[in-house]
Amino acid sequence: GFGRFGVVYDDAAGTDITYLEQRFQLDVVGTTETDNGLTVGGRYRLRSEEDKAGNDAGAPGYVRQTKAGTVNAAQMFIQSGGLELSVGNVQYALDSMANLAVGNIGLQNFTSFLDGPGYASRGASPTGLALTYAMGGLNAHLSYDTEAQATDAYVSYDFAGYTFGVGGQDSDAYTTDWVVAVGGTVGTATFNASYVNDGTNGTGGVGGGYAVAAHFDVASGLTVGGYLTYFDSDTAGVDSATGLGVDASYALGGGVNLVGGIYGTDDDKTEADFGINFRF
């Protein structure tokens, strides 16, 4: 399972709000094994989270509630060695591709240029099919969302300490067309860099997104990260934007971390947070 909570300041919506961020999720897995070694099973996720809005009880739209946990749509799977077939609420290829998103900046700011289907941590989901394969340094993932009729796939390979990946999507519902990503370790720093292209899919031609992140172990248990993003707009009336973020994480042991971060873009959006996360 996983949990996190903390304080978030967000002016992305044009008005400043400060709220108590929360997420608690518990994964339940049931499996069995056939005589010839296939693992067959299914999994649920129970997630509760904050239901935020507005800033103060006097403000319009003010809400300060914690959502009830939901049992999400199940994922079932058959696995044999590095090959796995899953159905239902599956993991989708581009959403699972390493190094494609810069990851969480601070406690909860998940910044990504990807527009595609994803695993639903709460409630119902599209019905999907996914096939993943891992062998040595090779990873491949093919997935299909039967509701949006979206197909996406990626292949990545580990070479000389770096992981190179390329992926694509065919869909009328989502804009992302193709992606490339690379990641690895240089000295004491880990980095990742990616490009997400919005091509002929969906409404099409929205633009492209570049992202670079680097993490440094600066002291025992303390990690500092830096993030740089650029959205290159192809759409009239939508501005290109540069984003810059920094964060820090201090490991308390047992999977518990104190984390804080700040991320801003030059079209005047800023989000900062501080809190704790834990895996159990």
List interacting residues with its own copies (CB under 8 A): 1, 3, 5, 20, 22, 24, 26, 28, 30-36, 38, 40-42, 44, 46, 48, 50-51, 57, 63-74, 76, 78, 87-89, 122-129, 146-147, 149, 252-256, 276, 278-280
Q: How far is the CB of 60 from its own copies (least distance, A)?
A: 15
The Cα 75–Cα 69 span in angstroms is 18
Q: How far is the CB of 185 from its own copies (least distance, A)?
A: 25
Structure letter (DSSP) for residue 119? -
User: What is the Cα–Cα distance from 25 to 3, expressed in whole angstroms?
Assistant: 6
Kindly state the smallest distance separating residue 9's Cβ from its own copies, in Å: 16
CA distance 245 to 213: 9
**Phi, psi for residue 95 in degrees, rounded to 5:** -65, -20
Q: CA–CA separation, 124 vs 72, rounded Å?
A: 6
35 vs 160 by CB, closer to its own copies: 35
Q: CB nearer to its own copies: give 110 or 280.
A: 280
For residues 117 and 243, which CB has a smaller minimum distance to its own copies in the complex? 117
- Cβ at position 90, least distance to its own copies in Å: 9
Measured CA to CA, the distance from residue 50 to residue 267 in angstroms comes to: 27
What's the CA gap between 181 and 48, in Å, rounded?
32
Q: Which two tokens stand for residue 249?
A: 């994480």
Least distance in angstroms from the C-beta of 75 to its own copies: 8
Whichever of 26 and 248 has its CB closer to its own copies, that residue is: 26
Indicate the residue among 32 and 161 with the shorter CB distance to its own copies: 32
CB 273 within 8 A of CB 280: no
- Give the position of tokens 């971060």: 261
Give whichever of 73 and 101 is closer to its own copies, judged by the CB atom. 73
Tell the smallest beta-carbon distance from residue 10 to its own copies (Å).
16
Distance CA 215, CA 250 (A): 13
CB 42 within 8 A of CB 77: yes
